């Protein structure tokens, strides 16, 4: 049976949309495979890592009929990538093998039975669905994802908090040293729902979401989230645990504020960061009326100093920061101006966008 027959470009696009979660090493060999399930002329491609499952549907030619199998996802992708995009590719089933033919090339690939593929058990108690434009969710994720923790023992920090309430969707990420918050308005009201999406899910969504206007539909259950967009269905396990109260972390009454050009500050910090080391990323910021001074030094007694003229008339403040945390937020901001609110050398700094209440970024100071 010819399972599918289409151009390399069509097959590869479908495969790439599901293959991102496939790990190279697995305790279960079948998890390295993609499940192909043919019904009539449509083929459904499914991958899973037991916590995330991605499924997409495509019409990729071939004989009509019912058929299912699983085949190595990365191997199939590598073979397809080695071929011209407009070349026709045929996949035929032959006993327990899949035969891939294209031009004068022929590959015989090992398969495993589809009935052995461990599908994620989907929840039966999903809350009401709501949607936002794909490009909106992608922008929200980009604004906070860099603040997620990596392999923290406080496992609830290794992800992003989603809070849907009323007509607002808020996303929060923190690693204990800095916190990023952003939000967007929903078209319809939803009851309050709070879930923590795992880090791997967030990174995969960022990879798959496009800048197009199409919507992404979301549903949350107590232990799962489901996303539907562009013909793909994405089901993921949630992180259990209680996320920190982010409202208590965001400063409300810092009396010193400064607004300056984002690019000027970013370039200054990147220059000064050259003399910091991987072990110690600290920089000193001196803020005085009319001037912002940034300095760093290292174990070899080298020193870097840079100044920016600023419109500031508040208190003189000297404060230390991990320069990476400041660079991260500026790189992920697309506005021209940035605002910083400070209290003193021992308090966190609040970074915001002027005349924008949707985005807030808090960085704890460090001793230098």
Domain boundaries, the chain: 2-116, 130-248, 250-363
The position carrying tokens 């500026």 is 330
Q: What is the pTM of this model?
A: 0.91
CA atoms of 339 and 71, how far apart (whole Å): 52
Mean pLDDT by 10 residues, the chain (368 residues): 92 94 86 94 94 93 90 96 93 93 95 95 91 94 96 93 95 96 92 95 95 91 94 95 93 92 96 92 95 94 95 93 96 94 94 94 92
Pick from 175, 155, 170: nearest CA to 242? 155
Task: State the DSSP code for 147.
Answer: G
Confidence at residue 26, expressed as pLDDT on a 0 to 100 scale: 77
Please tell me the distance from the alpha carbon of residue 161 to that of residue 63, in angstroms, as a whole number.
Answer: 45
Q: Which letter, b or e, does each residue of 116-140 get, where b requires 16 or more Cβ atoms within 10 Å of its Cβ? A: ebeebeebeebbeebbbbbebbbbb
Q: Please check whether residue 196 is in contact with residue 161, taking contact to mean a CB–CB distance below 8 angstroms.
A: yes
pLDDT at 317: 95
Contact 166, 190 (CB under 8 A): yes
Tell me how far apart the alpha carbons of residues 257 and 106 are, in angstroms, rounded to a whole number: 66
Return d(Cα 64, Cα 44) in angstroms, integer.
13
Q: Quote the pLDDT of residue 367.
A: 84
Residues in the chain: 368
Give burial (CB, 10 Å; 0-12/13-18/19+) of 283. buried
Residue 86 CA to residue 155 CA, distance in Å, equals 45
* Superfamily of chain region 250-363: DNA Polymerase III, subunit A, domain 2 (3.10.150.10)
Which fold, 130-248?
DNA Polymerase III; Chain A, domain 2 (3.10.150)
**Residue 110: how many other CB atoms lie within 10 Å:** 12
Q: Tell me whether domains 130-248 and 250-363 share a fold.
A: yes
User: Quick one: 2-116 is in which CATH superfamily?
Assistant: DNA Polymerase III, subunit A, domain 2 (3.10.150.10)
Tell me which H or E stretch contains 71. Answer: strand 67-72
Q: What share of the chain is helix, strand, coil (3-state, %, to 5)?
A: 20, 45, 35
């Amino acid at each position: 049976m010819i399972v599918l027959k289409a151009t390399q470009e069509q097959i590869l696009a479908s495969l790439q949309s599901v293959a991102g979660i496939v790990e190279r090493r697995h305790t279960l060999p079948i998890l390295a495979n993609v499940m192909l399930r043919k019904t009539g002329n449509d083929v459904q491609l499914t991958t899973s890592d037991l916590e995330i499952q991605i499924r997409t549907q495509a019409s990729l030619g071939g004989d009509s009929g019912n058929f299912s199998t699983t085949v190595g996802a990365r191997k199939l992708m590598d073979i397809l990538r080695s071929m011209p995009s407009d070349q026709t590719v045929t996949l035929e089933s032959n006993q327990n093998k899949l035969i891939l033919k294209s031009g004068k090339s022929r590959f015989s690939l090992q398969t495993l039975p589809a009935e052995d593929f461990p599908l994620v058990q989907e929840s039966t108690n999903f809350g009401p669905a709501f949607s936002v434009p794909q490009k909106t969710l992608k922008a929200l994720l980009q604004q906070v994802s860099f603040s997620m923790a990596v392999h923290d023992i406080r496992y609830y920090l290794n992800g992003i908090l989603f809070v849907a309430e009323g007509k607002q969707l808020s996303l929060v990420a923190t690693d204990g040293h800095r916190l990023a918050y952003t939000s967007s308005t929903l078209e319809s009201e939803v009851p309050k729902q709070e879930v923590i999406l795992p880090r791997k899910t967030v990174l995969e969504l960022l990879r798959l979401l496009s800048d197009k206007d199409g919507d992404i539909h979301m549903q949350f259950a107590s232990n799962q989230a489901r996303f539907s967009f562009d013909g793909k269905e994405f089901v993921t396990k949630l992180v259990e645990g209680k996320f920190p109260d982010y409202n208590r972390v965001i400063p409300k009454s810092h009396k010193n504020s400064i607004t300056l050009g984002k690019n000027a500050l970013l370039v200054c910090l990147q220059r000064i960061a050259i003399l910091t080391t991987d072990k110690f990323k600290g920089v000193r910021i001196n803020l005085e009326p009319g001037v912002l001074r940034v300095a760093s030094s290292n174990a070899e007694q080298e020193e870097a100093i840079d100044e920016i003229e600023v419109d500031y008339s508040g208190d003189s403040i000297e404060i230390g920061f991990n320069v990476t945390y400041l660079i991260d937020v500026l790189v992920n901001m697309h506005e021209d101006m940035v605002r910083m609110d400070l209290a003193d050398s021992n308090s966190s700094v609040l970074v915001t966008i002027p005349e924008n209440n949707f985005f807030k970024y808090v960085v704890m100071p460090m001793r230098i």
